[in-house]
Structure 1
Amino acid sequence: MLMSQLPRAAKLRYLPNGFRVLTPGDHVLCARSGQPIPLEELRYWSVAAQEPYATAELSTEAFLGK
């Protein structure tokens, strides 16, 4: 069987010091901008909201409720 090489969004559980992959994929979508974030580049997320963010600025905006 051939494996698909198409981009696929992962489902993650965001933890205080990392994340757990619930559904395999190669990226997640930023909760604020909708921009795809490759898993190896994911650095910002909210444990409380269970959301990923593409940049520190977007993470801060979400935290402040802007």
Structure 2
Amino acid sequence: MLMNAQNRAARLHYLPGTFRQLSAGDHVVCAVSGQQIPLDMLRYWCPVRQEAYATPEIATKRLLEPA
């Protein structure tokens, strides 16, 4: 049975400069704001924390916090 990946969060493994999709989905959720980020719009993440961020401002603020 084929499963539809629309409106489903994907599971990703974040690497420096890229990511690997571990499970089907069409978006990820911002670790700070909770906003859905379509995979084709995902630009900001942290491979150390394994988190995605919706905007560069959110990413910068989060990355300045202690790990």
AA at the equivalent of 1:65: E
Distance 1:17 1:6, change over 3 A: closer
Give the equivalent residue in structure 2 for 1:43: 43
Give the equivalent residue in structure 2 for 1:53: 53
AA at the equivalent of 1:38: P
TM-score of the two chains, using structure 1 as the length reference:
0.90
Give the equivalent residue in structure 2 for 1:30: 30
State how far apart, in whole Å, the 1-side matches of 2:39 and 2:5 are.
Answer: 15
Unaligned runs of 5+ in 2: none
State how far apart, in whole Å, the 2-side matches of 1:40 and 1:6 are.
Answer: 13
Shift of 1:4: 3.5
Shift of 1:14: 0.2
Deviating beyond 4 angstroms after TM superposition, the runs of 4 or more aligned structure 1 residues are none
CA distances 1:6-32 after superposition (whole Å, capped 9, x unpaired)? 400000000102100001100000000
Shift of 1:65: 1.2
Percent of aligned pairs sharing the same letter: 56
Distance 1:59 1:5, change over 3 A: closer
Distance 1:17 1:35, change over 3 A: same
